């Protein structure tokens, strides 16, 4: 009997990633599964608003467009797709998808929807049962901001995805789930791993973490960037996984980018906390046990991964209205660019104060981009005489009118400030909502999940 290897790629690292990632993965070599991540922490809150205005919205439309481009190949190459594109309206996403598939003559393709993550409508019931949803960073109970909550989604694990694949789904749509779960799900399905196989679940979780940001493990955002060939045509990452939990990280032959021990460990440290305890709903993975073996030719073998049992809680991602913000910018040319930019900022605050609008130190911001903003206070990170500078200013606070008022004092500098002020084409900055992020925990036993299959 030949040993089975399963090829799982990630073609979308975040909401806004290039459509060429998945399109090229479908073209440029063999694959068994294509995974795609469309959700960031505040994405669901935005989607919730879109759905309130129009009940057919609230999911990642990019995903449907992408499927439209690769539909024929999905069948020809027998590739299954797993995406958290459902957002807060997975059934609307499914309907849009069925429409696209029908246009391609693919009427019998099974689509599964994983449900149970969206608990916005259940919040009061869960709070009455004793769930406090205390903020994991500050310890505050959710009751402090309950009336301003705009979305509430549980990070579900990988088992519902495996269940959907077990029922024959070719495309699995989820709402909020963990990013690594998109990869772990198909591994559970293919190899029959169980909830007690903690080391295997940890291995699949590490595999998922390595590819979850797309090209960030294959040469993107890499310290020694000059060493990376052909970033324009960077190959998105592929996991070649084995039943025993070992796997290779690689990319399609002939693509740009680079997969080495160093590019892979760049991604392992990304957004890392305590490496001994990477918590997911499926297991606790130990990143300090990961062994990386560089085999050359864009192949890194990974093994040695240890894990332990998951906790009895899910992480919940809540968002709430947290005030207003506005930012705007002008470009100021030299000579004396920085000195003039400082004068400009001073003028703006003084004119606003004259009109009764004063902003506290935590409510206002000014940056002199080009003189050393990203590395402020760091030796070598700042300069006092840049040839030109971008003056970026902003305010925030609970009062929308006060935030909007700021926006109307930036552009007048063009004619009433020092000379050399330009770059005002974007016009007056307007107040936009600050979406606060509220991480919390909830008991798993209170969160049932469901899998529906359609075709």
Partner 1 sequence: MKVPLSRIAQARSGDKGEGSNVGVMARSETAYAFLKEHLTTEVVRKHFHAINGAGNVTRYEADNMHVLNFLLSDSLGGGGSASIRTDAQGKTHGLGLLRMELEVPSTVLDATPED
Q: Which stretch binds partner 1 (CB under 8 A): 141-149, 175-183, 185-193, 433-441?
A: 433-441
List Cα–Cα distances, 228 to 23, 218, 254, 256, 410, in angstroms.
22, 9, 13, 8, 41
426 interacts with partner 1 by CB under 8 A: no
Q: Does residue 384 belong to the site contacting partner 1 (CB under 8 A)?
A: no
Which residue among 52, 54, 137, 355 contacts partner 1 (CB under 8 A)?
137
Among 130, 296, 360, 377, interactor with partner 1 by CB under 8 A = 377
Q: Does 189 contact partner 1 by CB under 8 A?
A: no
Q: Distance between CA atoms of 68 and 79, rounded to whole angstroms?
A: 14
If the CB atoms of residues 114 and 213 are measured against partner 1, the closer one turns out to be 213
14 binds partner 1 (CB under 8 A): no
| Residue closer to partner 1 (CB basis): 10 or 171 | 10
The span from the CA of 44 to the CA of 36, in Å, is: 16
Contact positions with partner 1 (CB under 8 A) in 306-335: 322-323, 325, 327
* DSSP-H helix ranges across 167-322: 181-191, 198-211, 261-268
Which residues have CB under 8 Å from 289's CB, separation 6+?
304, 305, 306
Q: Is 296 in the site for partner 1 (CB under 8 A)?
A: no
Measured in whole angstroms, the distance separating CA 81 from the mean position of its chain's CA atoms is 18
The answer to whether 176 contacts partner 1 (rule: CB under 8 A) is no
Nearer to partner 1, 185 or 436 (CB): 436
Q: Closer CB to partner 1, residue 113 or residue 280?
A: 280
Residue with tokens 């995903």: 63
From 30-38, 61-69, 149-157, 364-372, span contacting partner 1 (CB under 8 A): 364-372
Residue 14: count of CB within 10 angstroms of its CB: 15
User: Can you list the alpha helix ranges (DSSP code H) found in 293-359?
Assistant: 337-354
The answer to whether 246 contacts partner 1 (rule: CB under 8 A) is: no
Of 22-30, 99-107, 231-239, 428-436: span binding partner 1 (CB under 8 A): 428-436
Residue 364: helix, strand or coil by DSSP? strand
Q: Which residue's CB is nearer to partner 1, number 13 or number 185?
A: 13
Per rule CB under 8 A, is residue 232 in the interface with partner 1? no
Pairwise CA distance, residues 9 & 301, whole Å: 16
# chain residues binding partner 1, by CB under 8 A: 53
Stretch that binds partner 1, among 23-31, 66-74, 220-228, 244-252 (CB under 8 A): 220-228
What 3 state SS string does 143-205 have?
A: HHCHHHEEEEEECECCHHHHHHHHCCCCEEECCCECCCHHHHHHHHHHHCCCCCCHHHHHHHH
- Residues present in the chain in total: 455
Q: Supply the DSSP symbol for 444.
A: G
Q: Shortest approach of partner 1 to residue 222 CB, angstroms?
A: 8
Query: Does 72 help bind partner 1 (rule: CB under 8 A)?
Result: no
| Binding of partner 1 by 441 (CB under 8 A) | no
* Residue placing its CB nearer to partner 1 in the complex, 184 or 300: 300
Q: Is 423 in the site for partner 1 (CB under 8 A)?
A: no
The stretch among 57-65, 81-89, 231-239, 260-268 that binds partner 1 (CB under 8 A) is 260-268
Report the residue number, 72 or 288, with the smaller CB distance to partner 1.
Answer: 288
Structure tokens at 324: 């207003």
Closer to partner 1 by Cβ: residue 125 or 274: 274
Among 21, 239, 436, 451, binds partner 1 (CB under 8 A): 436
Q: What letter does residue 110 receive in the DSSP assignment?
A: -
Cα 362 from chain centroid (whole Å): 27
Spatial separation of the C-alpha atoms in residues 79 and 73, rounded to whole Å: 8
Which run of H or E residues covers position 317?
strand 313-333
Find the binding residues for partner 1 in span 261-290 (CB under 8 A).
Answer: 262, 265-276, 287-290
Residue 408 and residue 431 in contact, taking contact as beta carbons nearer than 8 Å: no
Q: Closer CB to partner 1, residue 38 or residue 406?
A: 406
**Number of helices (H) and strands (E), helices first, in the chain?**
12, 19
Contact yes or no for 307/205 (Cβ under 8 A): yes
Query: Residue 434, interface with partner 1 (CB under 8 A)?
Result: yes
CB-nearer residue toward partner 1: 172 or 264 = 264
Instruction: Give the Cα separation of 410 and 99 in Å (integer).
Output: 47
Residues at the contact surface with partner 1, assessed by CB under 8 A: 41-42, 137, 221-224, 227, 262, 265-276, 287-292, 304, 322-323, 325, 327, 365, 367, 369, 373-381, 392, 394-396, 434-437, 439
């Amino acid at each position: 009997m030949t040993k089975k290897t399963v090829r799982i790629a990630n073609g979308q690292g975040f909401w806004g990633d290039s459509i060429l990632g998945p399109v090229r993965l479908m073209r440029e070599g063999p694959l068994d599964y294509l995974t795609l991540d469309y959700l960031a922490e505040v994405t669901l809150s935005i989607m919730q608003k879109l759905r309130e205005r129009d009940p057919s919205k609230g999911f990642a439309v990019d995903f449907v467009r992408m499927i439209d481009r690769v539909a024929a190949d999905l069948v020809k190459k027998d590739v299954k797709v797993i995406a958290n594109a459902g957002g807060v309206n997975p059934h609307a996403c499914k309907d849009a998808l069925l429409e696209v598939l029908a246009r391609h003559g693919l009427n019998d393709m099974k689509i599964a929807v994983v449900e149970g993550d969206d608990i916005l409508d259940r919040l009061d019931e869960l709070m009455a049962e004793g769930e406090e949803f205390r903020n994991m960073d500050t310890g505050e109970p959710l009751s402090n901001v309950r009336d301003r909550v705009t979305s509430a989604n549980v990070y579900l694990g990988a088992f519902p995805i495996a269940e959907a694949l077990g029922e024959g789904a070719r495309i699995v749509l989820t709402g909020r789930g963990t990013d690594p779960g998109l990869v772990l799900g198909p591994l559970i399905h293919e190899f029959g791993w169980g909830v007690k196989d903690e080391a295997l679940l940890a291995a699949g979780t590490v595999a998922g973490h390595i590819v979850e940001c797309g090209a960030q493990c294959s040469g993107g955002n890499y310290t020694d960037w000059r060493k990376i060939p052909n970033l324009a045509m960077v190959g998105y990452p592929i996991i070649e996984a084995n039943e025993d939990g070992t796997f290779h990280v690689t990319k399609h032959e002939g693509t740009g980018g680079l997969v080495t021990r160093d590019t892979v460990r760049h991604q392992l440290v990304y957004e890392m906390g305590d490496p001994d305890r990477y918590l997911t709903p499926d297991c606790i993975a130990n990143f300090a046990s990961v062994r990386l073996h560089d085999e050359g030719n864009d192949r890194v073998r990974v093994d040695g991964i240890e894990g332990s049992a998951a906790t009895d809680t899910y992480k919940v991602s809540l968002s709430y209205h947290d005030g207003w913000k506005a930012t705007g910018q002008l470009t100021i040319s030299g000579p004396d660019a920085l000195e003039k930019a400082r004068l400009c900022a001073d003028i703006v605050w003084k004119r606003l104060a004259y009109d009764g609008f004063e902003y506290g130190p935590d409510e206002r911001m000014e940056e002199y981009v080009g003189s050393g903003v990203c590395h402020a206070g760091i030796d070598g990170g700042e300069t006092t005489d840049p040839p030109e500078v971008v003056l970026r200013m902003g305010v925030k606070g609970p009062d929308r009118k006060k935030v909007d008022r700021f926006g109307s004092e930036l552009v007048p500098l063009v004619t009433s400030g020092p000379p050399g002020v330009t770059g005002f084409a974007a016009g007056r900055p307007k107040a936009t909502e600050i979406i606060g992020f509220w991480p919390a925990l909830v008991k798993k036993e209170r969160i049932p999940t469901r899998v529906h299959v359609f075709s």
